[in-house]
Structure formats: C-alpha cells, structure tokens
Amino acid sequence: MSWERTIQQLVGSPNMPKASQLATLSYLPEGGKEMLAQVWPRIPTARKRTLLNILSELMGDNLDLDFHSVFLVALDDPDAEVRALAVRGLWEYEGQDLVPKLIHLLQNDPSPLVREGAALVLGQFVLRHHLGHLKEKHYRPIEEALRQTFEDETERPEVRGRALEALGSVGHLPWVKEAIRSAYESLHTRLRISAIHAMGFSADPAWLPILLHELQNDDPEYRYQAALACGSIGDPKAIPYLTPLLHDDDLETRLAAIAALGQIGDEEAKAALLPLRDDPSPAIREAVATALQELEFLRDPLGP
C-alpha cells in the first residue's frame, strides 16, 4: 500500500490501517506532508490519538522508521492530548525548525501537559549544544525560554520542574546551579524531584552529598530519582548507599539502583550485582544482566 492510500484510509475508512500500512507514512515526501496536513482536520480525534501512539511504538521498535512528518503536522491540532503525543513523538527530532514551535508551545499552550512535553524536548537541544552540536545563536533562545519558564512563579510547578530538568546538561552554569538549589529547597515536591533529576544530568559530583541523603528518603520517588542521579554522576562513593536499595520494597527503586551500579562500573558494584542474577523477578534478572554488560563495557570498551 502507498502512503497516498494510507492517508486516504485514515480519513475514509471505519478501520484503522494496520501497522504494516502505517509504515508507509515513514519518511513522507513533501507531497505526502501536504496531503496529510490537508486531511488532518477531517480525521476523528480518537483516531489521531491512536495513530500517534501506534507510530511512537513503531519507531521505538524499528529505528529505520521515521514518522516525524506526521508528528509535526499534529503539533497544531486543537486537541491537547494529540498535541502532547505529537511533542512526545518528536523527542529525537533534530531539525532546528522545531525549536520555535516548541518555544511557542512552552510559552503559550493552554495545556500544562503540552508545556511540560515542550520543555523536555527542548532539553534535547540543550544537550546538543552542550555536546557541541548546536551553535550558540540557535541555543540562546532555548535557554532564555526555559529560564523564563522556571522563574515564572505563576507557572505550574510541574512545568517549571520540566524546564529545570531540560537545563540539567548545562548545570555547570552558575545560574542553573542556583536554580537547582532553589528548586531543591522549595516546598513543592515536583520541583524538588526535578532538582534531583537535574543534579544527576549535570554529572556534577558536588551534588553527591544531597543525593546520598535522598537515597534514604521515606518516599520511593525520591529514592528512585536519587539512584538514577547517582548513576549519571558515576562516583564509586555512592556504591555503599545504593547497595541497600537492591532489596528495596519499591521495584522501580530496585531497578534504578541496579542500573546505577552498572553505570558506575566498579568491582564493588559488580560484587553487589552478581547475587541478583538468580533473583525470582524476571525484571530484576534482566536489569542485572544489562547492568553487568554495561559494567564490563566500561572496564574494557574494546573487548570482544
């Protein structure tokens, strides 16, 4: 089936096209983009939501598929859930044409969920700048928009927190460090969680004392985020604090601790992980196997 027929079926058929048919929407040519944009308003909202969910799953399962053209069309949809799904689907899109759209959504969209998503995807561009893949002139409006969002006390804490998380990779900047600290010291749980996330993404060992303290928090969400952050920083000092979490009551926290130990890549971390290879939980066994593989890679990147 051609992309033309697939687009026509999205509008005129009572049935959603099969996954194999939807694959024809990958790498749409210019004419396909124009056709989809023309018919998009006629596609029922429920079908749009289903379509975007399916396309996201297909891209996750097959790296050769690219449905970014569809997600870009969906950014202007009147339905907030559709827009949020579209933003999420553009997580790996690197075209700079997306940046002004995301900034507009971050600053103007009526849906907090869409604003949150826009902030997080802008964080991908912040990371690209940090890695030297985005010029300063293209990066500057992004940082300014995220900073304004974080500093806007009338904005929802969830959105402000996502803006802070997006800035984590430039956590070496003095104002970002101060923003992380102020968020951590705030009374909003969401801001404090985002601060912990940003501490890890900054990869700054200076935050380690706070993270080690949070590994013992009564709230599993704090323990989970702190474990992930410790893994990102990669300091072996965290190993004795992460090891007790291998038997945490919260499964997600256990998985985060396992992943963190794999990222740290120390003999002490390996010794802590090995007994869990025969854990009753399939999720734990799989996580341990992955962590041990990563640990071995860190020890010998050129090994077999």
CATH of the domain at 154: 1.25.10.10
Spell out a b/e string for 144-172, using b for 16 or more CB atoms within 10 Å of the CB, else e.
Answer: ebbbebbeeeebebbbbbbbbbbbbbbbe
pLDDT at residue 48 in the model? 97
Dihedral sign for Cα atoms in the order 79, 80, 83, 89: negative
> Do the domain assignments include residue 114?
yes
Q: Which domain holds residue 51?
A: 1-78
Tell me which of 161, 186, 211 is where a domain ends: 186
The answer to whether residue 28 is domain-embedded is yes
Q: Which H or E run contains 162?
A: helix 157-166
pLDDT in tens, the chain (304 residues): 589 999 999 998 888 999 999 999 999 999 999 999 999 999 999 999 999 999 999 999 999 999 999 999 999 999 999 999 999 999 999 999 999 999 999 999 999 999 999 999 999 999 999 999 999 999 999 999 999 999 999 999 999 999 999 999 999 999 999 999 999 999 999 999 999 999 999 999 999 999 999 999 999 999 999 999 999 999 999 999 999 999 999 999 999 999 999 999 889 999 999 999 999 999 999 999 999 999 888 765 545 4
Q: What pLDDT shows up at residue 1?
A: 56
In a domain, 113, yes or no: yes
47 and 18, same domain (yes or no)? yes
Q: Is there a domain that residue 280 lies in? A: yes
- The answer to the question of residue 3 being in a domain is yes
Q: Within its chain, how far is the Cα of 256 from the centroid?
A: 15
- Beta-carbon count within 10 A of 180 CB: 28
* CA pair distance 169, 59, nearest whole angstrom: 25
Q: What percent of the chain has pLDDT over 70?
A: 98
Q: Which of 19, 43, 78 finishes a domain?
A: 78
Confidence at residue 301, expressed as pLDDT on a 0 to 100 scale:
55
Instruction: Report which residue type is found at 283.
Output: A
Q: What is the pTM of this model?
A: 0.92
> So what's the pLDDT on residue 302?
45
Task: Select from 19, 45, 78 the last residue of a domain.
Answer: 78
Rg over alpha carbons for the chain, rounded to the nearest Å, is 22
On whether residue 204 sits in a domain, the answer given is no
Give the pLDDT of residue 297.
80
What residues have CB less than 8 Å from 236, skipping those under 6 apart? Answer: 264, 266, 268, 269
Instruction: Say what the pLDDT of residue 265 is.
Output: 86
Q: How many structural domains is the chain composed of?
A: 3
For residue 266, the model assigns a pLDDT of 85
Query: Is residue 219 a part of any domain in this protein?
Result: no
d(CA 279, CA 247): 11
Asked whether residue 20 is domain-assigned, the answer is yes
Within this chain, do residues 113 and 72 fall inside the same structural domain, yes or no? no
Pair (176, 231) in one structural domain = no
In DSSP notation, 15-32 reads: SPPPHHHHGGGTT--HHH
